[in-house]
Amino acid sequence: MTIHQLSIFIENRSGTLIKVLDALKEANIQIIASTIADTADYGIYRIICSEPLRACEELKKAGVAVAISEVFVISIDNKPGRAADAVKAFSKAGIDITYMYSFLNENRGLLIFRTNDNDKALQIIKENNMQAISEDALQSM
Amino acid sequence: MIWNPNKECMSRDEMSALQGKRLHKIVEYVYHNVPFYRNKLQEMDIRPDDIQTIEDIRKLPFTTKKDLRDNYPFGLQAAPQSEIIRVHASSGTTGNPTIVGYTRKDIGVWSECMARCLTAYGVTRDDIFSVSYGYGLFTGGLGAHYGVEHLGASVIPAGTGNTEKHLKLIRDLGITGIACTPSYALYLAETMDKLGIRKEDIKLRVGAFGAEPWTENMRHEIQERLGLKGYNLYGLSEVMGPSVSYECQMQHGSHICEDHFYPEIINPVTLEPLPSGQTGELVFTTLTKEGMPVLRYRTRDLCSLLPGTCDCGRTSVRMGRIEGRSDDMLIIRGINVFPSQVESVVLSMPEFAPRYMLIVDRINNLDTLEVQVEIRQEFFTGVFDTPAAIDQLEKKLASKLKSVLSISAKVKLKAPNTIERSQGKSAHVIDNRKL
């Protein structure tokens, strides 16, 4: 139930982000959601996009340091407290969330996160009747 | 004051005769005790008896850092291990350091030479003298320390680091002399400003500065800010350590302890000796060393020997300031660093492309070293999708660098193919320090 996320190493100087975005544009890849984890010297640009495996190959061809990470996407009501409920369930099960970001799709909130234990996370998602989004479903949004 | 007028003020003829006699002896000694030298001399058809005067030195082969590396660790040691009482190590050009063993007599000669330096600076038994070179494998700390003890002044083995505590001791103990790198002296001055300690509050009057190149401008600034007189101290571990040469009150060139270390200046390309006064590569032959003697060791330091006699009364030859290097060695915080050492570490880690760049700078009078490396595309996997994972990778390289270089470096990870491919050895280094 995990989906593919692109994780891209970019240096903190002008032009590096454009290089990545241009390569995605050339390959006709659509970005669904993205976020940057920034440090003083570099950033890690995380992207959920169409055709992630092909996108990864295209970026590699362009000389970009890119890797595929497995992340979960769960759909929640766009109401106060729903994200807290989801995170609490993982926390109670002792699962660490490595990072998380979110975006809105129509009336649904979508939480994207990576954990330190994907199998256990999937179990918690099922036990709590959370609505995990598959890669196919995400692509057709 | 002159510590040993018999040697330091010898007539030139007597000195030449002594050097010739000692050269013959040392060649005979290494011929019989170091296979490396014996093979080399036999190849050139030279027998110890062919070497009788100091002029005969031109017949002898040169020794290089590479020879020391190829014979790591004890290949060039002439004395049996039972006679070695101390071992120091300095940077090698690659992974292996250069190992130097000293006999009891060597330590005695070293202390004697160091006492000559200190006396020339005006240090006496009444002084309280702080040694702020690194203690340990580096020759600076213990070398200077034994010299101060031999002279009979009170030595404060301050070492490096903990500058605030050191300053407190300088003030409270009334420390009058200090041996350190010139950049550390400036850092001391800066820390004094920060702590509100004025130069009138301290009694420093003599500074023995060495282990890195410095300029007249730095000398003036240090003298002005610390209220002392600063003297040059030169040495290298392959020959002995600090005390190979020293400035006197004239501060015009550094007198070489040439009864122990015979200097030559050569053209680094043709290897031909250059006439007095010309700048070239400094070469030393140890005339009395037992542990690891060297014949015509190429220091790679570029300087000239100053002609004429000195007004201080010493007759020993003087060397001018080091004007540069004939190789790519860097001196960072007093420690010798070769780009090839960084290369060997980078090559040992498959995570990184075989490309690197050293950025050297001086910030608040402290040298900084940044090592830039490229992550290899195939090694950038999903594991590295957090800054914490990348920091860990940087730390892994930093700790390997620290163990090889003996100084800390900041590692900066770069994207693939962003470091220019090197066009030559100097293309690996950007040195932003303005001396």
Tell me which residue range forms the domain holding A119: 71-139
pLDDT of residue A34: 95
Of A9, A46, A114, the CB nearest to B375: A9
Give the count of domains, chain A: 2
Of B385, B415, B418, the CB nearest to A7: B385
Q: Residues A68-87: pLDDT tens digits?
A: 999 999 999 989 999 999 99
CB B276 within 8 A of CB B139: no
Testing the interface with B: which of A9, A18, A68 to mutate, by most B Cβ within 10 A? A9
Q: Residues A48-71: pLDDT tens digits?
A: 999 999 999 999 999 999 999 999
CB contact under 8 A, B380 and A16: no
**How many beta-carbon pairs under 8 angstroms link A with B?**
59
What is the CATH classification number for the domain harbouring A38?
3.30.2130.10
pLDDT of residue B145: 98
Q: Map residue A8 onto helix, strand or coil.
A: strand
Q: What is the CATH number of domain B335-431?
A: 3.30.300.30
Instruction: Please tell me whether the peptide bond between B73 and the residue prior to it is cis, using omega within 30 degrees of 0.
Output: yes
Ranges of CATH 3.40.50.12780 domains, chain B: 70-327
Q: Are residues A129 and A90 in the same domain?
A: yes
CB B261 within 8 A of CB B268: no
Residue A106 binned pLDDT confidence (cut-offs 50, 70, 90): confident
Which value, to the nearest 10 degrees, does the dihedral of the CA atoms of residues B173, B177, B182, B184 take? -20
Distance CA B339, CA B353 (A): 16
CB B301 within 8 A of CB B322: yes
Q: Are residues A62 and A43 in the same domain?
A: yes
Q: Are residues A77 and A132 in the same domain?
A: yes
For residue B259, what is the DSSP state? T
Residues of B with CB under 8 A from a CB of A: 375, 377, 380-387, 390-391, 412-418
Give B415's contacts in chain A (Cβ within 8 Å). 9-11, 16, 64-65
Q: Are residues A52 and A77 in the same domain?
A: no
Of A11, A98, A114, the CB nearest to B418: A11
Q: Which residue has tokens 């011929």?
A: B31
CB B230 within 8 A of CB B182: yes
Structure tokens at B426: 């100097």
pTM of the model: 0.81
Q: Which residue has tokens 């009138």?
A: B200
Edge to edge, what strands does the sheet with B324-325 contain?
A: B261-266, B280-286, B297-303, B324-325
B161 backbone φψ class: left, alpha, beta (φ>0; ψ -120 to 50): left
Q: Map residue B340 onto helix, strand or coil.
A: helix
Q: Are residues A25 and A48 in the same domain?
A: yes
Q: Which residues of chain B have pLDDT under 50?
A: 425-426
How close A22 comes to chain B (CA, Å)? 17
- ipTM of the complex, rounded to two decimals: 0.87
How close A69 comes to chain B (CA, Å)? 5
For residue B61, what is the DSSP state? P
Class of domain B70-327: alpha beta
Which of A35, A69, A103 lies at the terminal end of a domain, its last residue?
A69
B344 backbone φψ class: left, alpha, beta (φ>0; ψ -120 to 50): alpha
Q: Residues B210-252: pLDDT tens digits?
A: 998 888 888 999 999 999 999 999 999 999 999 999 999 999 9
Residues of A with CB under 8 A from a CB of B: 5, 7, 9-11, 16, 37, 39, 41-42, 44, 46, 60, 63-70, 98-99, 114
Which of A19, A34, A69 lies at the terminal end of a domain, its last residue?
A69
pLDDT of residue B422: 59
Q: Are residues A80 and A54 in the same domain?
A: no
Q: Return all residues near A104 (Cβ < 8 A) that are at least 6 apart.
A: A78, A110
Nearest-CA neighbor of A97 among A75, A71, A74? A71
CB A66 within 8 A of CB A29: no
Q: Residues B4-38: pLDDT tens digits?
A: 999 999 999 999 999 999 999 999 999 999 999 99
Paired strand residues for A43:
A10, A38
Of A65, A67, A68, the CB nearest to B416: A65
Q: Are residues A59 and A99 in the same domain?
A: no
Of A9, A37, A60, the CB nearest to B415: A9
Ranges of CATH 3.30.300.30 domains, chain B: 335-431
Which of A50, A69, A88 lies at the terminal end of a domain, its last residue?
A69
Give A68's contacts in chain B (Cβ within 8 Å). 382
Q: Are residues A60 and A12 in the same domain?
A: yes
Q: Are residues A135 and A75 in the same domain?
A: yes
What is the separation, in whole angstroms, between the first and last Cα of chain B?
A: 32
